[in-house]
Amino acid sequence: MKKIKFLIFFIIPFFGLSQETENQSIFNQFLNNLSGSVESNAQWYVDDDKLGDFYDPNFPLSDEYLRANTYLSLDYNFLKNFTVGLQVESYEPLPLLNYYPGYNETNIATYYANYKNEKLDITAGYFYEQFGSGLLLRAYEERQLGLNNAIRGGRIKFSPTDYLNFIGLYGQQRNGFKVSSSNIFGFDADIDISSALNIEGISSFNFGISYVGKHESFSPDTPSFNTANFPEMINSYSIRADIDFGKIYSSIEYSLKGKDVAYTPPSSGVPTIIEGNYFEGNALLFNIGYTKKGIGVSATFRRLENMAFYSEREYGIPGSNEFNMLSVNFIPALTKQQDYSLSNIYIYQAQPTLQLQDFAGQAGEIGGQFDLFYKFKKKTIIGGKYGTKLSANFSYWALLDATFDENQGTYDAEFLKFGSRLNRDFNFEIRKKFSKKWSGIFTYINTITDKGVTLGGPLGVQGNIKANIAIAEVTHKFGKGKSVRLEGQHLWTKQDDKNWAGATLEFNASNRLSFYINDSYNYGNDVENDQIHFYNFGGSYSKGATRIALNYGRQRGGLSCVGGVCRFVPESTGLTVNLSTSF
């Protein structure tokens, strides 16, 4: 309550600073300068005769079946260059299932004040930021995953010219409604060399450097044997270059994370810092691509070694941070992002963590992906009357090849040598318009995934899951916003839960109103009681910037991913209401 009173006291004095015009009251002018949004996701969980009674492992004694996550964001502009804002969040009476337990009240979550002109951009309070691709720093919000690692402190952006940009920042990361006990320091410089030197024949040529420092004082509560040389300050650096010739583009980024602690795994008892051994991390990311009308090709390579980076060291204990809280950097899985329910069962998540004494060790990952897009021209044999679009994706990821000395608590990783395979994924898709009213999408996926990645647990010792997935989708447009879409899916595998079948029927009654029903059926499960239909049905209505959606059904347990970042979610059944609007 004290925070709310403080923010009101802070903002209200600026209301009168807006100049009143002859035809507009102060209040109306205030409303014109005010913008914001509201989003509420509520769920009423129910007991299920197939999935069992509702149970929340994060609040095992709770019987709260009805819950809601609600977000109110407000931004107010005044005096041309100033903006203030806040975000109020409510998780009442408890957060939705499998959200971070630190979200457990209604309070002001973030607030800021900003001044911005052509050259300066100064923020005090909470802010989001990313350096380069995010290998060293990315502060962002992703509500679907319950992630918000905004930094509370100060940030200055300075652009003395249109080709030179500097960023300096300092603060503490958000952790629920609190902030981390550590401090984050950051500096980033970026120059557009092609503009600075007026180089012809190059669309852009950017060069950048970054520094991120994390200072965390030693705490007596930290499990450790030795504190004499404990690294309280972690200094990390990166360098990057991006060049675009028009049709050909490429980028490269190398990051070096300063020496940090490593833990013994929980499987060996209470996790403790490995005495006297502190380890650097590094990452290499390389992209190259070619594109012109009708064709596009791109390739990505990434090598990660000990690149898990948290603002509080204990959040880096292997297996202890299921909600991905206090992550300083951004390490998404570089595979094709899937849109269909069955294609999201066996998916890959990045493995940047160092584990020295767990099943022969794990130092990081190495691999890449390749994408191809091609459009067959109209009035050709394959293109037909409207043309045909083809896309393919191939990805391969493996553990870094490394040797481990469990007695000494050390390791040695090869730089460009692949170890045990973690994932191999092939995707092939055809998009075809048959007539003005009919169109279709046809997808085939062949994947091999380490069971430890998909199901949790140690890597490289549980075997693989090999699966084939076929998907067909057709859409018929009636005109005036009306359409119907039918989708069929099938997954074949001899491992894990065996075969699945899925289907979706969607009807758009207008541009505003739509309904759907879908089902994913694990008919091939060897356990008859586990041959479950994960059904869902509902609809949505939109008008302007407002949308409301209603859904009832079952959620399949497993990995839930957004933008390549994943977390495990349990099975559940219930009624869901989503409301969002902006003004």
Residues 6+ apart with CB under 8 A from 464: 421, 448, 449, 450, 451, 495
Please tell me the total number of residues recorded for the chain in this structure.
583
The pTM (predicted TM-score) of the whole model is: 0.91
User: Are the C-beta atoms of residues 71 and 38 closer than 8 Å to each other?
Assistant: yes
At 357 the pLDDT is: 65
* Cβ neighbours around 217 below 10 Å, total: 11
Query: Cα–Cα distance between 554 and 51 in angstroms, integer?
Result: 9
**pLDDT given for residue 265 in this prediction:** 64
Residue 272: CA atoms inside 13 Å, Cβ hemisphere, count? 13
- Cα angle 179-185-188, degrees, rounded to a multiple of 5: 130
User: Whole-angstrom Cα distance, residue 326 to residue 314?
Assistant: 10
Six-digit token string for 238: 């990166």
Q: What is the pLDDT of residue 360?
A: 61
On the 0-12 / 13-18 / 19+ scale of CB atoms within 10 A, 225 is exposed
pLDDT value, residue 1: 43
pLDDT digits (tens, 9 = 90+) for 485-509: 999 999 999 999 999 999 999 999 9
Q: Phi and psi of 35, rounded to 5°?
A: -135, 160
CA dist., res. 476 & res. 436, Å (int)? 9
Which helix (H) or strand (E) segment is 30 a member of? helix 26-33
Is the CB of residue 91 less than 8 Å from the CB of residue 104? Answer: yes
Distance, in Å, from the CA atom of 158 to the CA atom of 166, rounded to the nearest integer, reads: 5
List, as one string, the DSSP characters of 140-193. Answer: -EEGGGTEE--EEEEEEEEEEETTEEEEEEEEEEEETTEE-SSEEEEEEEEEEH
CB 346 within 8 A of CB 447: yes
| Residue where the block lists tokens 């596009």 | 296
Q: What is the pLDDT of residue 186?
A: 98
Q: Are strands 438-450 and 248-263 parallel, antiparallel or unpaired?
A: unpaired
Please give the structure tokens belonging to residue 428. 């092939």
Going along 264-363, which residue ranges are E strands?
273-292, 295-305
pLDDT one digit per residue (tens) for the chain, 583 residues: 444 433 433 343 333 444 444 455 777 877 889 999 999 999 999 999 999 999 999 999 889 999 999 999 999 999 999 999 999 999 999 999 989 999 989 999 999 999 999 999 999 999 999 999 999 999 999 999 999 999 999 999 999 999 999 999 999 999 999 999 999 999 999 999 999 999 988 999 999 999 999 999 876 565 555 555 678 899 999 999 999 999 999 999 999 999 998 877 665 566 777 777 889 999 999 999 999 999 999 999 999 999 999 999 889 887 788 899 999 999 999 999 998 999 999 999 999 999 886 546 899 999 999 999 999 999 899 999 999 999 999 999 999 999 988 777 789 999 999 999 999 999 999 999 999 999 999 999 999 999 999 888 888 888 999 999 999 999 999 999 999 999 999 999 999 999 999 999 999 999 999 999 999 999 999 999 999 999 999 999 999 999 999 999 999 988 888 888 888 888 999 999 999 999 9
DSSP 537-550: EEEEEEETTEEEEE
Q: Report d(CA 444, CA 468) in Å as an integer.
A: 7
